[in-house]
Amino acid sequence: MADIVVIGGGAAGAAAFGELLARYEAGTVHWIVGRQAPGRGIAYGTRDDRHLLNVRAASMGVFAEHGEDFIQHASRQLGQVKGTDFLPRRIFGDFIQAQVGARIDAARRLGRSFRIYPDNACEILPRGEGGYAVRVGEQRWLDAGQVVLAVGALAQRALRTVSPAALDSDAYELDPWRLERHVTPPRRVMVIGTGLTAVDTLLSAAERWPHAELVAVSRHGLWPFTHSPLPLAAYPGQEELNRRLLTCDGSASMVRLVRAAFDEAPESDWRSVIDGMRPVNALLWQRLSHARRRQFLRHARWVWEASRHRMAPASGQAIHQLEEEGRLHAIAARVLAVDGDGPLQVTVRERATQLVSTMQADLVVQATGLDTAVAYGAHALLAQLLRDGLAVADPLQLGVLANVDDQLLTATGAAQPGLYAIGSLLRGNLWECTAMPEIRAAAHRLAVQLSRGQPLAATCDGVGELPRS
Ligand SMILES: Cc1cc2nc3c(=O)[nH]c(=O)nc-3n(C[C@H](O)[C@H](O)[C@H](O)COP(=O)(O)OP(=O)(O)OC[C@H]3O[C@@H](n4cnc5c(N)ncnc54)[C@H](O)[C@@H]3O)c2cc1C
């Protein structure tokens, strides 16, 4: 008997657990979900219906065979919804929980063995005879043949420019999803970041504090572009473009090709060109050298993120309306310092003029996006894996090193037997691996691969049949 342990209670952990429940029969599937409601994670834990999915309902699903399930589920809650709609993320969180619940019921009927732990995984130690001992909470140890890390991105680290006093004060918020902690209405809220998380934070702040002035600051001051209200026709030259992109030797030549595609086909929206690159994005990333990746992160990432990870049309409308009403200002500037202990003094250097100025804000919220810099020790379990040589940090701080089978690599480049990851931790290897369409595919692939490790019992007609536990 070889048990499998899945660590992480977000959408990726839920997808991996559910896929394993459906096919793994050689042992118990353990799911260590942490201390929050299982299945929702950061993205789908929100209760604010202004926080919308940035993927159309028809493309959202938890498991590989997802069909129209989410649309039907959402229609039961909201009335008739269309596959082209961008729905509240809360509804998708409910859906994940319902889908995992259904897999659990099916597993019970089939007599499959599984357990769920509402605690953190704190340590993973290799066993001499192979496999791992996984510590859950303070005392409980689980034996596992294989372990899947689905721990998502790390909690945000404070920017280096924030003084200890500011950080300790109630006026600096490191968790953009906890605005409700701030009871006194602020006169000015400053959000550091202008990405998707910043957008949601600003929409919540605008509703919660209708008289507050809102300021968003990021190096380029660029909001994510918006999705078109209806799906766009595919760019006819996409296949050829993707083929040519794969022959490029750097991100500059890729950008030139993509720009040319925008110009060549003015009748196709640029957004369909970007979306049509999805099947080759991971390959393109893998073909870049370390230096080219670094160059991309420094010079092109901001515009790629804004173009690729777009906001729902309703979110875009709400942000632009706040700007038109004069309640919200976006500034392209670098934050040089955050001082004081409330209100805070935020010193910025404006990008266009290089002028340095200081603004006062009653509340500063950091919304600087996914942090996957595991080397800085913010995540206890990952820090232990790095310390013990079971994992190695990606040199560009994009999670951990892994091979094409999503198996972690050691410092010698060898695959760590039975230790896998899914989701944000694999950005160094896959770059685009954090949205549900990619996570769903990865969970399915991994579950099939781990289940295949079981010996096949021969049947009389020679067709393999999985043994029952
Ligand atoms: C604000 C936001 C909006 C998004 N919107 C969309 C969208 O509309 N569509 C889309 O496809 N994608 C969206 N995404 C991408 C999103 O990242 C994925 O869809 C998905 O939610 C990622 O899930 P995850 O499980 O990898 O990570 P997380 O949601 O971060 O979950 C990881 C979980 O693991 C737990 N954990 C960590 N360490 C341990 C430990 N040691 N032991 C036990 N548990 C642990 C954490 O507490 C957490 O619950 C969005 C992301 C964000 C942040």
User: Domain 164-225+310-366 is in which class?
Assistant: alpha beta
- CA-nearest residue for atom 29, ligand 1, is 41
- Answer whether 176 contacts ligand 1 (Cβ < 6 A): no
CA of residue 161 to ligand 1 center, whole Å: 27
- Answer whether 151 contacts ligand 1 (Cβ < 6 A): yes
* pLDDT band at residue 68 using 50, 70 and 90 as cut-offs: confident
* Listed residue (404, 446, 389, 449) closest to 8, CA to CA: 446
Fold of the domain spanning 4-155+372-465 = FAD/NAD(P)-binding domain (3.50.50)
> Is 101 a residue whose pLDDT tops 90?
yes
- Answer whether 435 contacts ligand 1 (Cβ < 6 A): yes
Mean pLDDT of 65-82: 90
pLDDT of amino acid 269 = 87
> Is 329 a residue whose pLDDT tops 80?
yes
pLDDT of amino acid 324 = 98
- CA-nearest residue for atom 8, ligand 1, is 53
> Is 420 a residue whose pLDDT tops 70?
yes
pLDDT of amino acid 452 = 85
> Is 67 a residue whose pLDDT tops 80?
no
Which ligand 1 atom sits nearest the alpha carbon of residue 36?
Answer: 49
Which residue has better confidence, 264 or 425? 425
Report the range of poorest mean pLDDT among 163-172, 236-245, 395-404, 457-466: 457-466
Q: What does the pLDDT look like over 425-458, one tens digit per residue?
A: 999 999 989 999 999 999 999 999 999 864 333 2
> Is 265 a residue whose pLDDT tops 90?
no
* pLDDT band at residue 377 using 50, 70 and 90 as cut-offs: confident
426 vs 442: CA distance, rounded Å: 11
* Listed residue (172, 176, 154, 149) closest to 7, CA to CA: 149
- Answer whether 43 contacts ligand 1 (Cβ < 6 A): yes
CA of residue 172 to ligand 1 center, whole Å: 23
- Answer whether 14 contacts ligand 1 (Cβ < 6 A): no
Alpha-carbon dihedral sign for residues 262, 265, 267, 269: negative
> Is 234 a residue whose pLDDT tops 60?
yes
CA of residue 70 to ligand 1 center, whole Å: 18
CA of residue 43 to ligand 1 center, whole Å: 6
pLDDT of amino acid 399 = 97
- Residue 179 parent element (H or E): none
pLDDT of amino acid 255 = 85
- CA-nearest residue for atom 2, ligand 1, is 43
Mean pLDDT of 411-415: 91
Q: What does the pLDDT look like over 119-147, one tens digit per residue?
A: 999 999 999 889 999 999 999 999 999 99
CA of residue 10 to ligand 1 center, whole Å: 5
- Answer whether 120 contacts ligand 1 (Cβ < 6 A): yes
pLDDT of amino acid 267 = 67
Whether cis (ω within 30° of 0) applies to the bond prior to 126 is no
119, 191, 436, 446: residue to mutate for ligand 1 pocket, most atoms within 8 A of CB:
436
CA of residue 13 to ligand 1 center, whole Å: 9
Mean pLDDT of 449-468: 43
Structure tokens at 261: 């595609």
Mean pLDDT of 145-153: 97
CA of residue 22 to ligand 1 center, whole Å: 22
pLDDT of amino acid 191 = 98
pLDDT of amino acid 465 = 27
Bridge-partner residues for 464, per DSSP? Answer: 458
- Answer whether 382 contacts ligand 1 (Cβ < 6 A): no
Residue-averaged pLDDT of the chain: 92
Which ligand 1 atom sits nearest the alpha carbon of residue 423?
Answer: 26
CA of residue 12 to ligand 1 center, whole Å: 7
State the CB neighbour count (10 A cutoff) for residue 389. Answer: 12
- Answer whether 368 contacts ligand 1 (Cβ < 6 A): no
Do strands 188-192 and 213-218 pair parallel, antiparallel, or not at all (unpaired)? parallel
Q: What does the pLDDT look like over 14-45, one tens digit per residue?
A: 999 999 999 999 999 999 999 999 999 999 99
**Contact, 79 vs 73, CB < 8 A?**
no
Give the residue carrying structure tokens 């897999």: 103
CA of residue 434 to ligand 1 center, whole Å: 8
- CA-nearest residue for atom 12, ligand 1, is 435
- Answer whether 423 contacts ligand 1 (Cβ < 6 A): yes
- Answer whether 330 contacts ligand 1 (Cβ < 6 A): no
308, 370, 434: residue to mutate for ligand 1 pocket, most atoms within 8 A of CB:
434
- Answer whether 197 contacts ligand 1 (Cβ < 6 A): yes
Which ligand 1 atom sits nearest the alpha carbon of residue 15?
Answer: 25
**E strand intervals along 92-246:** 114-117, 121-126, 132-136, 140-144, 146-149, 172-173, 188-192, 213-218
Structure tokens at 401: 């090193």
Q: Which residue intervals of the chain bear CATH 3.50.50.60?
A: 4-155+372-465, 164-225+310-366
Which ligand 1 atom sits nearest the alpha carbon of residue 60?
Answer: 11
